[in-house]
A and B are shown apart, each in its own frame.
Chain A
Amino acid sequence: MAQDDTNTDLQETVLNGLHRALGAKMVPFAGYDMPVQYGLGVMKEHLHTRAHAGLFDVSHMGQVVLRGDGLDDALEHLVPVDVAGLPVDRQRYGFLMNAEGGIEDDLMIARRADHLFIVVNAACKSADIALLRAALEPKDITVEVLDRALIALQGPSAEDVLAELAPEVRAMRFMDVATVTLDGAEAWVSRSGYTGEDGYEISVPNAAAEALAKRLLSDDRVEAIGLGARDSLRLEAGLCLYGSDIDSTTSPVEAGLTWAMGKRRRAEGGFIGADIVQAQLADGVARKRVGLRPEGRAPMRAGVLLFDAAEGGAQVGEVTSGGFGPTVGGPVAMGYVAVESAATDTRLWGEVRGKRMAVDVVSLPFVPNGFKR
């Protein structure tokens, strides 16, 4: 169980020194040296975020600005969501597609006055940027990769805490975007996150990040939260983790993400992989992503196979992420199951350490979201 604190191959975010000063346990994640937990531990960090507010360093994610004439059309070819209809200072969830109808990455797209600001996953960012450059630069659209910090403040107290620095954030609704001054720094703030709670994601210049993080952490309602609780929070919220719940082999239809596409894009197509996605929309799919609630206390983690009988029977699916849900107070999971077994309340059995354990298909999320719509 020895820990290597000196992995020199890893990149660091600008808040690395702060994580260490706060006593974080650091782990390699997507090529970065990141905090998996702080002194509170995963369970208490999770519960604190749901009760008050948590601060997350997500600076390892990719931040990109896209500019140019014809940008909306060009991006809509890659991303099957309604970019053209996205109003200024609003944000939308989307995904980059491949020709097989699979998802290359999921991302956030925000429209600002004269550009689109997108945030992509850390593990995918170099591939995403290459994909964006290859598709957009020949159309004279610039792809500018930013070197900025990204901090998420999440939880029911997030509004009160952030409003002390910038009262105007109170008026923002879920998925609104604004530029505000926080502690003297220009910050691009969206009212969004990855926990199912109300909260904000805040992009700031690197030079301002540590002072802002410390200022927010000085509030008694705010605790630093690591990747461990970030994962259990998003899982309870029913949100997909790229690389686990969605990947290049899962389609938005199978993943239950067609709500993000909007009516126009579902009907018109015109994006990479549209032939496959539209055929799935018309004819249905063989498997679907579902929520899974194990009956006992044993967690069912990624890779657990799901069967339609306690003994024998057929394999009907597999868990793609799972663990313990601190707010639920028991194990929670997500996975793909055959559509015949995907109806809510279907009883399935997951094989854990050679034993079949009962698990029920449930609707997501496990914990109601706290978004300010």
Chain B
Amino acid sequence: MKFTEEHEWLMIDGDLVVVGITAHAAEQLGDVVFVELPDPGGEVSKDDEVVVIESVKAASDILAPLDGEIVEVNEALVADPGKVNEDPEGDAWFFKMKIEDMSELDELMDEAAYKKFIS
């Protein structure tokens, strides 16, 4: 698993990358009550706002971690946003991307570096 400074995790799944938010981010957000996902098929650039997530406290965005194409979104989160708090680093993935340059993943933090980042 790789991590961004925006508290996203990325996991390689074949030629795709699965993206979600970290347990740390989910805890900081508090109970998630609303998730708005992008339409699959769209090209996105790094730092584009692709997902809107609202907790009991505030609204925030999830940014595209890298350039690529969103190929699949986790519709189950729309009906049950609370999953983001229950299983942020598992069932509650947000979208799957096709990354243009997979080598860019190497520049992201590994788990040890992310743990240090949030401590």
Contacts and interface: CB of A to CB of B under 8 A. Distances in A.
Contact of B56 (A1, A43, A297): A43
A1 B57 contact: no
A42 B28 contact: no
A335 B36 CA distance: 24
Contacts of A324: 31, 33-34, 54, 56
Given A43-B56, A228-B56, A37 B33 contact: no
A40 to B, nearest CB: 10
For the residues of A in contact with B, the DSSP-based class is mixed
A323 B34 contact: no
From A37, A324, A326, name the one whose CB has the most chain B CB atoms within 10 angstroms: A324
Contacts of B68: none
Interface string A308-336: 00000000000000011010000100000
Contacts, number: 46
Contacts of B24: 1
A299 B59 contact: yes
Interface in B64-109: 78, 81-82, 85
A243 interface: no
Nearest to B52: A353
Nearest to A2: B118
A97 to B, nearest CB: 33
A331 B33 CA distance: 9
A1 B25 CA distance: 8
A365 interface: no
Given A42-B31, A324-B34, A301 B59 contact: yes
A328 to B, nearest CB: 11
A232 interface: yes
Contact of A299 (B28, B33, B82): B33
Interface residues of B, number: 18
B34 A297 contact: yes
Contact of A298 (B31, B54, B57): B54
A370 to B, nearest CB: 22
Contacts of B34: 297-299, 324, 331
B7 interface: yes
Given A1-B7, A1-B25, A299 B30 contact: no
A41 interface: yes
A228 B7 CA distance: 23
Nearest to A1: B28
A232 B7 contact: no
A37 B30 contact: yes
Nearest to A296: B34
Contacts of B30: 37, 41-42, 228
Nearest to A44: B31
Interface in B1-30: 7, 24-25, 28, 30
Nearest to B56: A42
Contacts of A301: 59
A41 B7 contact: no
A297 B33 contact: yes
A184 to B, nearest CB: 37
A229 to B, nearest CB: 8
Which of B25, B31, B36 counts the most chain A CB atoms within 10 A?
A: B31
A291 B36 CA distance: 24
A326 B57 CA distance: 12
B102 to A, nearest CB: 28
B36 A323 contact: no
B80 to A, nearest CB: 11
Contact of A41 (B31, B54, B78, B81): B31
Interface of A: 1, 36-37, 41-44, 228, 232, 297-299, 301, 323-324, 326, 331, 353
Interface of B: 7, 24-25, 28, 30-31, 33-34, 36, 52, 54, 56-57, 59, 78, 81-82, 85
27 contacts: A1-B24, A1-B25, A1-B28, A41-B30, A41-B56, A41-B85, A42-B57, A43-B82, A228-B56, A228-B57, A232-B56, A297-B33, A297-B81, A298-B34, A298-B36, A298-B54, A299-B34, A299-B54, A299-B59, A301-B59, A323-B56, A324-B33, A324-B34, A324-B54, A331-B33, A331-B34, A353-B52
List 9 A-B pairs, minimum CB-CB distance, nearest first. Answer: A324-B33, A43-B31, A42-B56, A1-B28, A297-B34, A298-B34, A41-B31, A299-B54, A324-B56
